[in-house]
Amino acid sequence: MPVLRPASSFLKHVLQVRPTWRSRDVDIAEITVAISNSVFRVSCGKEKVLLRIYGPTAHGIFRRDDEVRRARYVAGCGFGPQVLLNFDEGRVEEWLEGRAPSHEEIRSDEAIERIARKLRSFHDRTGLNHNDLHHNNMLISGGDLQFLDFEYSGDLDPAYDIANHFNATAQALQNSSH
């Protein structure tokens, strides 16, 4: 998703949550796996935050104010990053270390069990579905598994969430074999 303005034009928002950072020492790198938003790792030394620049919502599937409310809610329940600052064109979030699991990794028996346990915990603790749980919306760090990107989350229907996840996984595997 293209950003209409350079990411550096949003640096003022990052500096609101990290006032000790000097702009000349800040590094901004795009994270290319995002589809509906433009996402950047913003760092100064070893400290990092995530800058999310919103994409269009003309699809009508969700409203940005609902997305931000849900992101704050699920973070308060222990899932995903804390929202540090929200502004009209995007938001600044806590940086979570880790990496997206590969398609092969999420097919293992251990990973399937871990994802299922985490998804059940997510459903029980938040009362919501994720509704977009593919490998790029997961983060592995050591033995920890995090879910990310809750803009499509909504009413609880665990069977739908499970089917949606495995459909996305099967589709990705099919596409990678061609």
Give DSSP secondary structure letters for 16-81. HH-TT--GGG-EEEEETT-SSEEEEEEEETTEEEEEEEE---TT-S--HHHHHHHHHHHHHTT-SP
Give the pLDDT of residue 60: 61
Closest CA to 43 of 24, 32, 27: 27
Sheet holding 90-94, edge to edge: 27-31, 37-44, 47-54, 90-94, 83-87
Give the pLDDT of residue 6: 76
Give the pLDDT of residue 172: 62
The ranges assigned to domains in the chain are: 7-94, 105-176
Q: Would the CA dihedral through 165, 167, 171, 174 be positive or negative?
A: positive
pTM: 0.86
Strands 138-141 and 144-147: antiparallel
Kindly report the CATH number that applies to the domain delimited by 7-94: 3.30.200.20
Do the beta carbons of residue 130 and residue 122 sit within 8 Å?
Answer: yes
Instruction: Name the CATH code of domain 105-176 (choices 1.10.760.10, 3.90.180.10, 3.40.50.1100, 1.10.510.10).
Output: 1.10.510.10
Give the pLDDT of residue 62: 72
Kindly give the confidence (pLDDT) of every residue in the chain, 178 residues in length, as a single tens digit, with 9 standing for 90 and above: 444 567 889 999 999 999 999 999 999 999 876 677 889 999 999 999 999 998 876 566 678 888 899 999 999 999 999 999 999 999 999 999 999 998 888 888 898 899 999 999 999 999 999 999 988 899 999 889 999 999 889 899 999 998 888 887 776 666 665 4
Do the beta carbons of residue 113 and residue 106 sit within 8 Å?
Answer: no
Token pair for 121: 């915990």
